């Protein structure tokens, strides 16, 4: 992929010890891989939640499911504790993502989604739950 990402770009001054700089760049290369993974993982999660959004809109279900969210948050907090990640941060992060998902679901149901909405194969209603006009007859 062509982009202008320079992994050695830094605002740290010229006077950083070269050995320290070398170690820093090695660690940063790992951070860059993690960041790329995060983007791919998030893209796959949004792809899945987009399908949920279409399914909900087709069946006139509400965009949010607070009971499911509480279970997910409690589970993620437990996982975070086991992984020595701050559970408060894990909760904040998941809540941030879920809020965005719910916004997408609302937009799908309103028909204002900027994302291409691919109807499920065999769906007999459009995404707003209105019956399809059958144009095949
Ligand atoms: C994805 C769903 O819709 C919403 C978004 C959720 C999420 O991003 O995990 C969870 C619950 C819902 O509020 C769902 O109901 O499963």
User: Is residue 41 included in any domain, yes or no?
Assistant: yes
- The pLDDT value given to residue 13: 83
How does DSSP classify residue 125?
A: B
By CB atoms closer than 10 A (0-12, 13-18, 19+), residue 26 is: exposed
User: Is residue 125 included in any domain, yes or no?
Assistant: no
Instruction: Give the Cα separation of 135 and 43 in Å (integer).
Output: 35
User: Is residue 2 included in any domain, yes or no?
Assistant: no
Kindly report the CATH number assigned to the domain that includes residue 92.
1.20.59.10
When comparing pLDDT for 126 and 35, which is higher? Answer: 35
pTM: 0.85
Per-residue pLDDT tens over the stretch 9-32: 999 988 999 999 999 999 999 999
Residues near 12 by beta carbon (within 8 Å), at least 6 away in sequence: 21, 24
93-112 average pLDDT score: 96
Which is the closest atom of ligand 1 to the Cα of 105? 3
Return the residue whose CA atom lies nearest to atom 1 of ligand 1. Answer: 49
User: Is residue 126 included in any domain, yes or no?
Assistant: no
Per-residue pLDDT tens over the stretch 51-66: 999 999 999 999 999 9
3-class secondary-structure state, position 131: strand
Domain that holds residue 71: 18-110
Instruction: Give the Cα separation of 73 and 65 in Å (integer).
Output: 12
User: Is residue 135 included in any domain, yes or no?
Assistant: no
Confidence at 120, pLDDT banded by 50, 70, 90: low
User: Is residue 129 included in any domain, yes or no?
Assistant: no
Which is the closest atom of ligand 1 to the Cα of 56? 15
Q: Convert 8-25 to b/e letters by CB count within 10 Å (16 or more is b).
A: eeeeeeeeeeeeeeeeee
Residues near 124 by beta carbon (within 8 Å), at least 6 away in sequence: 131, 132
Please report the ipTM that was assigned to this predicted complex.
0.99
Q: In the chain, how many domains are there?
A: 1
What distance in angstroms lies between residue 106's CA and the mean position of ligand 1's atoms? 12
Return the residue whose CA atom lies nearest to atom 8 of ligand 1. Answer: 98
User: Is residue 103 included in any domain, yes or no?
Assistant: yes
What distance in angstroms lies between residue 98's CA and the mean position of ligand 1's atoms? 6
Alpha-helical (H) ranges within the chain are 18-58, 66-82, 87-110
Return the residue whose CA atom lies nearest to atom 3 of ligand 1. Answer: 64
User: Is residue 4 included in any domain, yes or no?
Assistant: no
Instruction: Give the Cα separation of 32 and 35 in Å (integer).
Output: 5
Cβ of residue 90 lying under 6 Å from some atom of ligand 1 = no
């Amino acid at each position: 992929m062509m982009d202008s990402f320079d992994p050695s770009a830094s605002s740290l001054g010229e006077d950083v010890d070269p050995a320290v700089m070398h170690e820093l760049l090695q660690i940063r290369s790992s951070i860059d891989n993690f960041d790329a993974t995060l983007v791919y993982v998030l893209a796959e999660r949004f792809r899945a939640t987009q399908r949920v959004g279409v399914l909900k809109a087709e069946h006139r279900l509400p965009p949010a499911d607070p009971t499911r969210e509480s279970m997910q948050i409690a589970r993620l907090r437990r996982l975070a504790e086991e992984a020595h990640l701050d559970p408060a941060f894990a909760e904040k992060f998941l809540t941030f993502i879920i809020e965005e998902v719910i916004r997408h679901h609302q937009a799908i149901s309103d028909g204002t989604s900027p994302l291409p909405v691919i109807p499920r194969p065999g769906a007999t209603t459009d995404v707003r739950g209105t019956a399809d006009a059958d144009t095949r007859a």
